[in-house]
């Protein structure tokens, strides 16, 4: 499209229809002020790129013989505890065996570095035990027994039937038994949105409130 002076074009009359030919300004789309917030979308895209970068670092740290049987997810969670960072980056490591662990970094995803991740990431011994379906404490030291801070609302209520992802492609039906669950061995400020009782008798937690991890069960 060639843009230039349009004073003559603005006054051209179609002699056959006696209608004024629209000038180039009339044919332009609405101004950007009527479009969605491009900055918000750009921020979401940048956040997803940060999540992907951290997931890649995590996979690199997992032994090659275990990588085909693990799912790593990254998300940001808000912490209402005044003693912790306002936003934590929560990393969930889920093996096909059903065992999983969490790493909580007290910073936004864009602030996470390889060095920070290396310092907090589970050892090969712990990862191997999770892969084999064995329990392994991580981090090794016990955290202080702190109360739950004020948490944001969740999609599912206690007693609601859900489907939980327990492997890369495996989903099991269960029921929500607790919101905002944590274990004493988890890092300070780390909370799982749901504790779920599965139909097969197992009790698990859902590390994130997203459809990739937990979703409503069909009626």
pTM of this structure: 0.51
Element of type H or E holding 55: helix 38-61
In this predicted model, what pLDDT tens digit does every residue of 67-99 receive, in sequence order? Answer: 999 999 999 887 655 555 577 898 999 998 888
Measured CA distances, 76 to 54, 138, 158, 214, 219 (Å): 12, 20, 23, 16, 31
Strand 13-14 to 171-181 pairing:
unpaired
In this predicted model, what pLDDT tens digit does every residue of 144-189 receive, in sequence order? Answer: 344 556 778 899 999 999 999 988 888 999 999 999 988 766 776 7
């Amino acid at each position: 499209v060639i843009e230039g002076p349009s004073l003559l074009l603005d006054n051209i009359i179609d002699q056959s229809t006696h209608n004024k030919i629209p000038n180039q300004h009339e044919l332009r789309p609405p101004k950007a002020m009527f479009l969605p917030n491009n900055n918000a979308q750009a921020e979401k895209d940048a956040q997803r790129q940060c999540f992907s970068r951290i997931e890649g670092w995590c996979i690199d740290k997992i032994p090659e013989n275990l990588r085909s049987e693990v799912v790593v997810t990254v998300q940001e969670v808000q912490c209402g505890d005044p003693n912790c960072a306002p936003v934590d980056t929560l990393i969930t490591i889920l093996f096909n065996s059903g065992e999983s662990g969490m790493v909580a970094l007290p910073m936004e995803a864009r602030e996470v570095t390889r060095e920070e991740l290396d310092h907090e990431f589970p050892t090969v011994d712990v990862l191997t035990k999770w892969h084999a379906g064995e329990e392994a404490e991580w981090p090794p030291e016990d955290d202080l027994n702190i109360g739950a801070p004020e948490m944001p609302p969740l999609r599912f209520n206690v007693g609601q039937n859900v489907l939980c992802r327990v492997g890369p492609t495996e989903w099991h039906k269960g029921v929500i038994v607790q919101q905002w669950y944590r274990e004493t061995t988890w890092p300070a400020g780390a909370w799982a949105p749901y504790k779920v009782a599965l139909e097969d008798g197992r009790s698990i937690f859902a590390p994130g409130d997203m459809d990739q991890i937990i979703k409503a069960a069909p009626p």
